[in-house]
Amino acid sequence: MSSNRIRLSEFPSTFWSVNTMEIFERMAWYGFFAVSSLYITGAVGDGGLGFSDEDRGVLQGVVTFFLYLFLSLPVPQQTAMATNACCLPPF
């Protein structure tokens, strides 16, 4: 085996901080997605929206598509870079 292997303890603290934040961000997104499914398909009398499972699938699919589409456009990235230039890496 090569003696050039990197040990986990050799990664800087920023690596662990960023990856921990990413894990929590993903848990929040998928948690919201699951809870919103229950809300969308819940009965109106119980405070839900009363959509069918098929309608919920279409709604969440379309919303997610446009969310990813608009967040990946260069315009929001350029706006974010102009307002937070010190916080974002150069592209």
Model pLDDT, residue 58: 95
Q: With helix as H, strand as E and coil as C, how does the chain read?
A: CCCCCCCHHHCCHHHHHHHHHHHHHHHHHHHHHHHHHHHHHCCHHHCCCCCCHHHHHHHHHHHHHHHHHHHCCHHHHHHHHHHCCCCCCCC
Domain spans of the chain, in order of start: 12-83
Tell me: pLDDT of 19 over 70: yes
- Condensed to tens digits (0 to 9), the pLDDT of residues 38-84 reads 999 999 999 999 999 999 999 999 998 988 887 776 665 566 556 55
The per-residue pLDDT for 86 is: 55
pLDDT of residue 4: 78
* pTM of the shown model: 0.59
